[in-house]
C-alpha cells in the first residue's frame, strides 16, 4: 500500500511542478531574448533529467550496473518513441532547422559514441563490456563541445529575435524554475521508489525493472513537461526538452557515473543500446520528411515502443 501511495503522490507532484517549471522557463527565455528551444535543450532538459542522474549515479556507487545503464538507455528510448509519439498525437510537432541540423544529429553522435565504446568488447568475442573512466571523460568532453555550440547559437538567435517578443524579467520566475526542478526530481524519485517496490514484490528482475518501470518512471518529468508544453503551444520547448534530455543522459549521466565508478554491462544491454541508436535514427528520418511528427508518425512511434516493451518482457 505504501508503494502505491508513493506512486500516486509522485505523479501528482510531477504534474504540478512540471507546469510551474514550463511557465517559469518560458518567461525567463522571453525576458532575456533566449529562444524557448535553447531553454528546452538546457535548463528544462537538465532539470527533468535529475531523476535519471540520481538513480544512475546511486546505482553505480552501489554496484547495480544494470540499473545504472538500463535506466539511461531505457529512458532515452522512452523519450524518443513514447514521449515524442504521445506529443505528436496531441499536436503536430514541427522541428526547427536548428533541431534537425544541430541538436538531433548531436544526439545521434552521442548514441553512436556509446555504441562504439561498447562494441569494442563484444566484437572481439568478450561477454562483458566496460565503460571506463577514460570513456567517461570522453563523453563529458563531447558534452562540453555541445554546450559551447549551443550557447554560440544563443548569441546569434538573440540578435534575430524581435524586441517586442521580449517580456519583463521577474524574479519569481526563477523561483518557479527552482521549485519546479526540486518538485520534478522529488516526484520522479517517489514514482521510481514506489514502482520499484511494487516490481520487487512481484519478483521482477533488476534488468527488467531498469528498462521498464525505472526508465519510464524517471522519464515521467520529460513526459509531463513535454505534454504540458505542447498543449500550451511551446512546441520548441517540448522537442528541445526531449532531445536535450537524451543528450544529457548519455554524455553527462553515463560520463559522470563511469568516472566515479567504471560500469560493466552484458550483451543484452548492448542490444538495447543498438535499439536506442536505431530508434533515434528512425525518428530523425521522420523529422526530415515534412519536418514534423504528426498523428500518424506518433502512432507508429508508440507502436514501436510497445513492441520493444514486449521484447523486454519476453527476453
Measured CA to CA, the distance from residue 298 to residue 220 in angstroms comes to 18
Helix (DSSP H) and strand (DSSP E) numbers for the chain: 16, 4
**pLDDT at 158 (0 to 100):** 56
- Element containing residue 264 per DSSP (H, E): strand 263-265
**pLDDT at 150 (0 to 100):** 79
**pLDDT at 164 (0 to 100):** 41
**pLDDT at 197 (0 to 100):** 80
Please, are residues 194 and 10 in contact by the beta-carbon 8 Å criterion?
Answer: yes
**pLDDT at 92 (0 to 100):** 81
Instruction: Give residue-wise pLDDT tens across range 251-297.
Output: 999 999 999 889 988 899 999 999 999 999 988 888 887 678 888 99
Secondary structure (3-state) at 131: strand
Contacts of 185 (CB under 8 A, 6+ apart): 47, 50, 51, 54, 221
Contacts of 113 (CB under 8 A, 6+ apart): 138, 139, 142, 250
Q: Is the dihedral of CA 188, 250, 277, 144 positive or negative?
A: positive
**pLDDT at 37 (0 to 100):** 63
Q: List, for the chain, all residue ranges whose pLDDT scores fall below the cut of 70.
A: 35-37, 39-41, 44-45, 47-48, 154-167, 205-206, 236, 290
Please, are residues 256 and 57 in contact by the beta-carbon 8 Å criterion?
Answer: yes
Amino acid at each position: 500500500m505504501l508503494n502505491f501511495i508513493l506512486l500516486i503522490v509522485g505523479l501528482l507532484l510531477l504534474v504540478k511542478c512540471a507546469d510551474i517549471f514550463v511557465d517559469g522557463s518560458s518567461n525567463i527565455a522571453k525576458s532575456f531574448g533566449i529562444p524557448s528551444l535553447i531553454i528546452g535543450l538546457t535548463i528544462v532538459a537538465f532539470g527533468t533529467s535529475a531523476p535519471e542522474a540520481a538513480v544512475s549515479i546511486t546505482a553505480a556507487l552501489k554496484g547495480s550496473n544494470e540499473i545504472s545503464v538500463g535506466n539511461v538507455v531505457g529512458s532515452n528510448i522512452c523519450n524518443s518513441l513514447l514521449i515524442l509519439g504521445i506529443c505528436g498525437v496531441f499536436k503536430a510537432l514541427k522541428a526547427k532547422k536548428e533541431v534537425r541540423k544541430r541538436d538531433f544529429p548531436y544526439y545521434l553522435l552521442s548514441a553512436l559514441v556509446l555504441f562504439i565504446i561498447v562494441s569494442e568488447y563484444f566484437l572481439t568475442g568478450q561477454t562483458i563490456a566496460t565503460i571506463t573512466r577514460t570513456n567517461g571523460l570522453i563523453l563529458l568532453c563531447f558534452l562540453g563541445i555541445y554546450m559551447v555550440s549551443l550557447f554560440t547559437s544563443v548569441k546569434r538567435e538573440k540578435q534575430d529575435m524581435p524586441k517586442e517578443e521580449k517580456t519583463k524579467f521577474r524574479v519569481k520566475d526563477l523561483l518557479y524554475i527552482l521549485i519546479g526542478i526540486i518538485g520534478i526530481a522529488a516526484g520522479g524519485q517517489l514514482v521510481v521508489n514506489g514502482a520499484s517496490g511494487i516490481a520487487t514484490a512481484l519478483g521482477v528482475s533488476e534488468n527488467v525493472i531498469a528498462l521498464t518501470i525505472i526508465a519510464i518512471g524517471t522519464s515521467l518529468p520529460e513526459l509531463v513537461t513535454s505534454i504540458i508544453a505542447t498543449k500550451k503551444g511551446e512546441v520548441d520547448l517540448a522537442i528541445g526538452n526531449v532531445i536535450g534530455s537524451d543528450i544529457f543522459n548519455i554524455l553527462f549521466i553515463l560520463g559522470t557515473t563511469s568516472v566515479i565508478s567504471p560500469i560493466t554491462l552484458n550483451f543484452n544491454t548492448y542490444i538495447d543500446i543498438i535499439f536506442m541508436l536505431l530508434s533515434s535514427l528512425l525518428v530523425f528520418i521522420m523529422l526530415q520528411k515534412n519536418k514534423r511528427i504528426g498523428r500518424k508518425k506518433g502512432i507508429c512511434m508508440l507502436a514501436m515502443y510497445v513492441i520493444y516493451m514486449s521484447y523486454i518482457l519476453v527476453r
